[in-house]
């Protein structure tokens, strides 16, 4: 049975995590994601889970590391400055092949920036963020219903590939309210018995170790090649993207998350005026929908990338299509949000 609820994005995400079997949450307050830990502090005890308000974001990600290596589905959330602090921990998750879900409700930067919505952590999220040869899966929901879907998926992917997964949202998605359908029967729980690698005491088996330190000659290179194999598999299987009017458009707008919602409205308006405009909405930002864009590049005349940043995802769009078609950009930064009219004007400029 599904129930319809009205909650803000941050709360929806928290509830979806619990539905996905998340039983450990640690986080440190930061706007605009504060509803998420507040919700967890109430809900986790109800489902027999653990909520900790940690002393820092660094501590929170390392608590997630601990809970995860014991076999529990674990999550932390923060916003941009706090996510910067978590990067070492995320790198350790990747290096130790531990699952973990990290939520970034992006705000304006650099520095303390502001608390307005932003998409300027795209580079950090998709290009490593922390040190070393690793990737994390990055999923970018565009609606509250999709937050439910992608949050649940995040935990499954994190476990399946034993990798950190980031849910990349922004202040608008976190704060807005929309009716959402929640299935109240699913309540999955992490099945730690299925995880053959966890540390739970060596009863009846050889002791296990979890570590990313590989000192022996060549051992780290061998391990990193193994990681790359995993990333290749993820790239093959886990690309997610929505395409609107992919077959008969001259210009394709490319946008994710909040800006994709605004772009969609702009595209529909232009369509109603007979303009041949479409939309590509990457849902997985890493892996990036390279093939999809390459295929579309054969048909369209140009692209318009719209972001709440000074231009970050645009680099992946250009790389994907090998710069074969012009790629235009419209971005607002530091808390600026592109409007429908601004996007329409940009498109008309290109036409």
Partner 1 sequence: MSKILSKPKSMKDSSTHYCAGCGHGIVHRLICEIIDELGIREETIGIAPVGCAVIAYDYWNFDVTEAAHGRVPAVATGIKRVAPENIVFGYQGDGDLAAIGTAEIVHAANRGENITIIFVNNAVYGMTGGQMAPTTMLKQKTATTPLGRDQKTHGFPLKVCELLSVLPGVSYAERVSIHSPQNIIKAKKAIKRAFQNQIDGVGFSIVEVLSQCPTYIGLSPEDSVKWVAETMIKEYPLGVFR
Query: What are the residues binding partner 1 (CB under 8 A)?
Result: 23-24, 26, 50, 52, 54-56, 58-60, 62-72, 74, 88-89, 92, 96, 199-204, 207-213, 215
Question: Which tokens hold the place of 96?
Answer: 């130790």
Residue 185: closest CA among 19, 12, 11:
19
Cα–Cα distance for residue pair 212/255, rounded to 1 Å:
36
Going from the C-alpha of 308 to that of each of 18, 205, 316, 326, 333, the distances in angstroms are 30, 51, 15, 20, 5
Q: How far is the CB of 309 from partner 1 (least distance, A)?
A: 29
Separation of first and last alpha carbons in the chain: 48
If the CB atoms of residues 24 and 39 are measured against partner 1, the closer one turns out to be: 24
If the CB atoms of residues 89 and 141 are measured against partner 1, the closer one turns out to be: 89
Q: At what angle do helices 144-161 and 9-19 cross, to 10 degrees?
A: 40
If the CB atoms of residues 72 and 136 are measured against partner 1, the closer one turns out to be: 72
Q: How far is the CB of 316 from partner 1 (least distance, A)?
A: 29
Phi, psi for residue 185 in degrees, rounded to 5: -95, -15
Given strand 284-286, what is the order of strands in its sheet?
Answer: 50-53, 24-27, 74-78, 100-106, 164-170, 137-139, 284-286
Residue 182: closest CA among 72, 17, 24, 40:
17
Judged by DSSP in three states, 315 sits in helix
If the CB atoms of residues 85 and 239 are measured against partner 1, the closer one turns out to be: 85
Q: How far is the CB of 343 from partner 1 (least distance, A)?
A: 43
* Cis amide linkage into residue 52, ω under 30° from 0: no
If the CB atoms of residues 201 and 274 are measured against partner 1, the closer one turns out to be: 201
Q: How far is the CB of 210 from partner 1 (least distance, A)?
A: 4
Residue 316: closest CA among 157, 144, 88, 135:
135
Q: How far is the CB of 169 from partner 1 (least distance, A)?
A: 24
If the CB atoms of residues 56 and 339 are measured against partner 1, the closer one turns out to be: 56
Judged by DSSP in three states, 58 sits in helix
If the CB atoms of residues 194 and 209 are measured against partner 1, the closer one turns out to be: 209
If the CB atoms of residues 74 and 306 are measured against partner 1, the closer one turns out to be: 74
Q: Is the dihedral of CA 184, 52, 160, 9 positive or negative?
A: positive
Q: How far is the CB of 105 from partner 1 (least distance, A)?
A: 22
Q: How far is the CB of 234 from partner 1 (least distance, A)?
A: 24
Give the DSSP H or E segment for 13: helix 9-19
Residue 213 CA to its chain's centroid (Å): 27
Q: How far is the CB of 106 from partner 1 (least distance, A)?
A: 24
Q: How far is the CB of 344 from partner 1 (least distance, A)?
A: 48
Q: How many CA atoms lie within 13 A of 312 on its CB side?
A: 18
Neighbouring C-beta atoms of residue 351, cutoff 10 Å: 13
If the CB atoms of residues 60 and 165 are measured against partner 1, the closer one turns out to be: 60
């Amino acid at each position: 049975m599904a129930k319809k609820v009205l909650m803000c994005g941050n709360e929806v995400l928290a509830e979806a995590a619990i539905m996905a079997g998340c039983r450990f949450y640690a986080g440190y307050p930061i706007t605009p994601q504060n509803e998420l830990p507040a919700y967890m502090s109430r809900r986790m005890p109800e489902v027999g889970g653990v909520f900790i308000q940690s002393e820092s974001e660094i501590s929170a990600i390392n608590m997630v590391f601990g809970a995860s290596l014991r076999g529990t589905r674990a999550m932390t959330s923060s916003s941009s400055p706090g996510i910067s602090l978590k990067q070492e921990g995320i790198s350790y998750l990747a290096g130790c092949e531990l699952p973990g879900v990290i939520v970034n409700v992006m705000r304006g930067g650099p520095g303390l920036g502001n608390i307005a919505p932003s998409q300027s952590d795209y580079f950090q999220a998709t290009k490593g963020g922390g040190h070393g040869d690793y990737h994390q899966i990055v999923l970018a929901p565009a609606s509250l219903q999709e937050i439910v879907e992608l949050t649940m998926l995040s935990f499954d992917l994190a476990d399946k590939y034993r990798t950190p997964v980031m849910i990349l949202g922004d202040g608008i998605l976190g704060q807005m309210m929309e009716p959402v359908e929640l299935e109240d029967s699913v309540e999955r729980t992490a099945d730690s018995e299925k995880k053959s690698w966890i540390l739970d005491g060596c009863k009846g088996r050889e002791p296990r170790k979890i570590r990313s330190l590989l000192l022996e000659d060549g051992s780290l290179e061998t391990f990193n090649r193994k990681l790359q194999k995993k990333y290749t598999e993820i790239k093959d299987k886990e690309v997610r993207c929505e395409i609107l009017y992919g077959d008969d458009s001259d210009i394709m707008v490319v946008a994710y998350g909040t800006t994709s919602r605004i772009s969609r409205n702009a595209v529909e308006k232009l369509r109603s005026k007979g303009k041949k405009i479409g939309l590509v909405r990457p849902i997985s930002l890493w892996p990036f929908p390279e093939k999809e864009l390459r295929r579309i590049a054969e048909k369209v005349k140009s692209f318009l990338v719209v972001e709440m940043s000074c231009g970050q995802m645009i680099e992946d769009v250009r790389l994907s299509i090998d710069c074969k078609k012009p790629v235009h950009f419209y971005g607002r930064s530091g808390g600026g949000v592109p409007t429908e009219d601004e996007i329409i004007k940009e498109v008309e400029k290109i036409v």
